[in-house]
Structure 1
Amino acid sequence: MRSFSLLLLAAALASPFVSSAAQTPAKIPVKVVVVAMFEVGNDTGDMPGEFQHWVEGEHLTKRFALPAAYHDALMNDDGVLGIVTGVGTARAAATVMALGTDPRFDLTHAYWLVAGIGGIDPQVGSLGSAVWSDWIVDGDIAHEIDPREAPKDWKTGYVPLRKSTPYEEPRTDENGIVFHLNTGLVDWAYGLTRNVKLPDTAEIRERRQDFAGENAKRPPFVLRGDNLSAGTFWHGKMLNQWARDWVKYQTNGAGTYAICGMEDTGTMQSLTWLERAGKVDAKRVLILRTASNYDQQRQGLSAAESLAETKITKYGAFLPSLDSAYRVGDVVVRSLLSNWAQDRDRMPGATPEMSPGSAKKPTQP
């Protein structure tokens, strides 16, 4: 009897733990995370920002509160989850980290698609064009003096961190300045979408005639080029040259600047650390930026005059660039979902070892 009583006592003590474990909900498996950076108003039904086409087109109707992030997460029944990070690297990093550590979601097999707008180098592309990037380069972490106080032989007052002169060699690797995406996966995404037809308008056609160069005058197209991420919205021909030089320097000559944004190194920093924590696979990240504006003034305007007319929702290709981001990005999302039985465990375009591969120069059809 004493042994039986002890067994009953042990069972009674264990039962709360068994019950608690049984009641712990299973994590929600996520196949694709779509990352937008801003929304103009509501998530649906009004003038769109970067998120609205995804909410409506992917039927993201399930809302999950994310109080530690900029915006709630929205999800559909197919495993696609969407977030809005807020503008700037700090908000992007915080929002992605909040999602990545949320215990409700299983993100270990998820692909991440950052889809937003940016300013394009007219030497590389045109308004409304879509850019897949291999290299994401930070444009904020540096030393700086006013160029009016810089030595006359300096091209810029911007100096790499822990260096004394612009573009000083040897370059020092600094955590969070350069991120190299999985080239095999970028190859796959570009190959899948390179012939997607992008929207063109009379306004875009007229504006691109104000810029010199073959690529600046082309109808919108999908291309391959690299991304400068900086919290400052910079503008003008002289800063465009700085962007070209900065990306070239920070990638040891492997990258070529094509388009700028304001959040992507923040997103990549969080994803890098989340991978270290075993929460995500940072080799499953794609970054797509579409050209809402040129990153410099057109002929006949000063940089200041051009900046004054460059306002959000007033960009020359604001609405078409949002459309382009969804059109191109959705092709990738549809393919991943359709082939999930294979893509869950082996990335499309990857080698058997899933290695990132080598850097590539900008690619244009």
Structure 2
Amino acid sequence: MKVNALSKKGLPRRRYAALTTRSAAALAATLAFGACAPTFAQDSDDFRSGGHRGDHGGGDRDVKVMIISMFGPEGQVWLDRLGPWKAIKVPGLSPDYPEVHCNRQDICVLTTGMGHTNAAASLMALTFSDKFNLRRTYFMIAGIAGIDPNQGTVGSAAWAKYLVDFGIQWELDAREKPDSWPSGFTGINTKSPTEKPPLDYRTEAFALNAKLADTAFALSQNVVLADSPEAQAARAKFSYAPANQVPKVIQCDTLAGDTWWSGKYIGERARDWTRLLTDNKGTYCTTQQEDNATYEALKRAASTGRVDLNRVAALRSGSDFDRPYEGQTAGDNLLNYQAQGGFAPAIENLYRAGNPLVQDIVAHWSEWRYGVPTR
């Protein structure tokens, strides 16, 4: 398995930076006891040859659900469960992941490559391709993330209503910050860290369809999530809940930025920044790299009528804590994140928490076709 070198923040956030043999083995073991997936009959000649029974012929393939993963294992957990698949090459996708995989239920899996740049480029390539009809497609971002121990624990799976960009800020080295500042961060063109900045970039914060987020949560909230002995040992070092509790499906919001970080004070800034940019409506809980870039690309496509922004959901599962437990240093938490044992459960729990929504959409398409159903 090829391992990419990564920076540090959203990837704890992809905290896959070095997927060791041990991690790979753990992932395989976790997947082995995963929830049973729907099975398909032997794929037909029609499907193997690319036939499609949707409303549009040719290359204009209908898609009911597009699962957006960022790197190999995030996509593989779906590919291992929901096949058989047809691989469709799309010009402009990541050279590492040049194909979209679609099955007979009109569920597709896209892997973008990691980080803001890859996510935006791949989504633009997908949505402006002539190979798919995405006008009624539900997009589900499904990736691993760092997690705030005050909101969840390693293995927890969180549905977001707000996407907030942590990277669009001014920053001073903490050793040179004003004494009155709690950290070195402040909004661009502001005079203090508590002042809401003018949202000049227009990508700083996005509100997702709350009805879709609530429906996704309702469908998955009672799912039993995967765990590991290493993750249990890591969370036991915290003296408070929910950090030291078993993983659950939760609702809280996600923060994007390409710099990996670790620490109490940056974590407090993440909470404050989320509240500030969402007018106290959002609650920070996971940190990753791509989601604002992904959404902006979808927004550009929506401006041309190619996608529906009311059909975007974001699921992030905690692969490691974003700050240390009492007595641990921030550096140790960062440099030894793999020891937390959250990678394999987090990958598995993307499937366990996300699949109820995916299957409900395709099984009850007459209800979902024209928008999120009221139940």
TM-score by length of 2: 0.81
The alpha carbon displacement at 1:287 in A equals 0.3
The alpha carbon displacement at 1:315 in A equals 4.7
The alpha carbon displacement at 1:280 in A equals 0.2
Are 1:34 and 2:73 matched, yes or no? Answer: no
- Where 1:51 maps in the other structure, the secondary structure is helix
Structural mapping, 1:251-330, within 5 Å: 251-311=278-338, 315-330=340-355
Larger Rg: 1
What is the CA–CA distance in structure 2 between the aligned matches of 1:245 and 1:68, rounded to whole Å?
37
Deviations 1:114-156 (A, max 9, x none): 1110111101111101100001000111222212221111112
User: Structure 1 residues 52, 315: closer, same or farther in 2, change over 3 A?
Assistant: farther
Question: Following TM superposition, where does structure 1 have runs of at least 4 consecutive aligned residues deviating by more than 3 angstroms?
Answer: none
The answer to whether the Cα contact below 8 Å between 1:33 and 1:83 also exists between their aligned partners in 2 is yes
Aligned partner (choices 202, 207, 232) of residue 259 of structure 2? 232
Q: What corresponds to 2:91 in structure 1?
A: 67
After TM superposition, the structure 1 stretch with the greater mean CA deviation from structure 2, 94-103 or 234-243, is 234-243
What is the CA–CA distance in structure 1 between the aligned matches of 2:190 and 2:118, rounded to whole Å?
28
Q: In the alignment, residue 308 of structure 1 is paired with which amino acid? A: L
Deviations 1:239-279 (A, max 9, x none): 11111111011111111111111110110110111111111
User: Structure 1 residues 349, 227: closer, same or farther in 2, change over 3 A?
Assistant: farther
* Two-structure CA RMSD over aligned residues (Å): 1.5
Aligned partner (choices 111, 114, 120) of residue 93 of structure 1? 120
Count of residues in correspondence between the two structures: 315
- Where 1:81 maps in the other structure, the secondary structure is strand
Deviations 1:42-67 (A, max 9, x none): xxxxxxx1111111111152111123
- Where 2:109 maps in the other structure, the secondary structure is strand
- Where 2:80 maps in the other structure, the secondary structure is helix
Aligned partner (choices 116, 119, 137) of residue 146 of structure 2? 119
Q: In the alignment, residue 53 of structure 1 is paired with which amino acid? A: V
What is the CA–CA distance in structure 2 between the aligned matches of 1:277 and 1:307, rounded to whole Å?
42
Q: What corresponds to 1:146 in structure 2?
A: 173
TM-score by length of 1: 0.83
Q: What corresponds to 1:172 in structure 2?
A: 198
Q: What corresponds to 1:10 in structure 2?
A: none
The answer to whether the Cα contact below 8 Å between 2:228 and 2:341 also exists between their aligned partners in 1 is no
Q: In the alignment, residue 147 of structure 2 is paired with which amino acid? A: I
The answer to whether the Cα contact below 8 Å between 2:154 and 2:321 also exists between their aligned partners in 1 is yes
Q: In the alignment, residue 175 of structure 2 is paired with which amino acid? A: R
Q: In the alignment, residue 75 of structure 2 is paired with which amino acid? A: F
Unaligned residue ranges in structure 1 (runs of 5+): 1-23, 40-48, 351-365
Are 1:106 and 2:133 matched, yes or no? Answer: yes
Q: In the alignment, residue 25 of structure 1 is paired with which amino acid? A: G
What is the CA–CA distance in structure 2 between the aligned matches of 1:121 and 1:347, rounded to whole Å?
30
What is the CA–CA distance in structure 2 between the aligned matches of 1:143 and 1:66, rounded to whole Å?
37
Identity %: 33
What is the CA–CA distance in structure 2 between the aligned matches of 1:135 and 1:253, rounded to whole Å?
11
Q: What corresponds to 1:217 in structure 2?
A: 244
